[in-house]
A = this chain, B = another copy of it.
Amino acid sequence: MLLGFRPSLRLLSHRHQRLQSRCVQSENTATSAAVDSVLSALRSICGEDGVSLGAAVREQHGRDESVHRCCPPDVVVFPRCVEEVSALAKVCQHHNLPIIPFGTGTGLEGGVSAVKGGVCFSLRNMDQVLDLHPEDFDVTVEPGVTRKALNSYLRGTGLWFPVDPGADASLCGMAATSASGTNAVRYGTMRENVLNLEAVLADGTVIHTAGKGRRPRKTAAGYNLTNLLVGSEGTLGIITKATLRLYGIPEAMVSAVCSFPSVQAAVDSTVQILQAGVPIARIEFLDDVMIDACNRFSSLSYAVSPTLFLEFHGSERSLEEQVLTAEDITQSNGGSDFQWALDAGTRERLWKARHDAWYAALALRPGCKAYATDVCVPLSRLPQIIVETKQDLIENRLTGPIAGHVGDGNFHCLMVVEPNDPDELQRVQMFTERLARRALAMDGTCTGEHGVGLGKRALLCEELGPEAVQVMQHLKDSLDPKNLMNPGKILQQREL
């Protein structure tokens, strides 16, 4: 199922039938007048232009960047403010229509698939940066603001927001999926960097998880609703505003690339650098297949062997010390001399190449699709799991370059799959399950940063145990009793 594809476009009449059958459930009138009434209610809230039934628009909103099949919603709405989001949610609640929030569609676990149809809330028209407080290192953004747009906005202030998944995702979408990226080893994930959220619940209620407009750096005021919503993947509410923690741009930054004779040597170096207390900002592993793909895709010329991309942040003086310690460690593990990226342009090119790893992997086999695993294990287990996983890939004749945020114990196999080869699909499916179970057996998790979405619901149960998953279901039921908020994600599908 994970890797299944199906024709994605449904006929308009079919869609109307579905909307109609939902309206029948709720209103007990079996006429298309019910459908018209829903559509006219939606249009009365966000205007004619704010409601789309177009096939192309619906299809675009029914898939993310993963191999999960496209499930278009019945309608896409484009609210312009939280009041409209709330009013639209009330219409959906009244008519039992699923609500699927949509940021940039750059998720990797099928989070935006409208598996039960319903109304997709595209938040792209809410794209303002609000309330920048440079002196307090915080900012509030609307859900259409992406991480790159925020950092552009911050140019000249001396501040930046460091969480950086590969894609230029929306910040509220990143909050919804508990995203992280290359900087997490130093700056944390979205869990550590969201101070407050505004969210619209399934019934249209607007809440502020830490109180309206509040932004203390710490709080002990009641249940941590902020971190309940972070990572809830749109299943508890639509995030309509996020207050984020910002950081001062370090006085100096320097990046380096180091090649190793073996995977074990590269990963051992990572573990030892962290154990030595080096406050490293980024430490990314790329295996030989991955660096080869990046060389080709991004016109680089690094040695084709297991590689670390490193970045150090700090004052000029502290950088020197960090670099010396790191070099000592890598050389004692047989690493090459550091190849430096000193100026901003070279550094940017280096990290763009790392962020483009997904596309570099896809370019290895044109016409194929990609699926990224994202297990995460305690640091000390990392060498073993990567070595075993590489062996597994070879034995099963699979293309899966490895790139990872190894400082967090988190890495990706970027599985490149021929979608029309059922045997290969099957082997990939088996491989990803083995990999997840390998991580679970090492006290780790099946998902470090991509979330559960559609593909890891069964694994979630293995990972947490049925009792904890039952608690999650209770929480979901209490906030969304009709199961309208992004149904079928995280928790196994229940019927409406």
Contact = CB atoms under 8 A, between A and B. Distances in A.
Contacts of A477: 478
A34 B208 CA distance: 46
Interface in A440-460: 440, 443-452, 456, 460
Interface stretch (A75-83, A131-139, A298-306, A427-435): A131-139
A328 interface: no
A214 interface: yes
Nearest to A457: B222
A132 to B, nearest CB: 12
A469 B213 CA distance: 16
Contacts of A192: 188, 192
A380 interface: yes
Q: How large is the interface on A (under 10, 10 to 19, 20 to 34, 35 or more residues)?
A: 35 or more
B467 A227 contact: no
B228 A222 contact: no
Interface string A370-412: 0000101111100000000000000000000000000011100
A230 interface: yes
Interface in A200-242: 201, 205-225, 227-228, 230-232, 236
Contacts of A250: 277
A443 B208 CA distance: 13
A415 interface: no
Given A218-B180, A445-B219, A225 B133 contact: no
Contact of A445 (B214, B449, B467): B214
B224 A230 contact: yes
A108 B391 CA distance: 55
Interface string A452-495: 10001000100111011111101111110000000000110000
A96 interface: no
A177 interface: yes
Nearest to A468: B207
A136 B378 contact: yes
A189 interface: yes
Contacts of A178: 219-220, 224
Contacts of A210: 445, 464
A259 to B, nearest CB: 25
Contacts of A445: 210-211, 214, 216, 219-221
A361 interface: no
A479 B468 contact: no
A315 interface: yes
B379 A207 contact: no
A28 interface: no
A275 B248 CA distance: 8
Contacts of A184: 218
A317 interface: yes
Complex A-B, nearest 7 residue pairs according to Cβ-Cβ distance, in ascending order: A478-B478, A227-B227, A136-B378, A178-B220, A216-B376, A135-B380, A219-B445
10 contacts: A192-B192, A214-B440, A214-B463, A216-B444, A218-B376, A220-B447, A220-B451, A223-B236, A317-B318, A474-B478
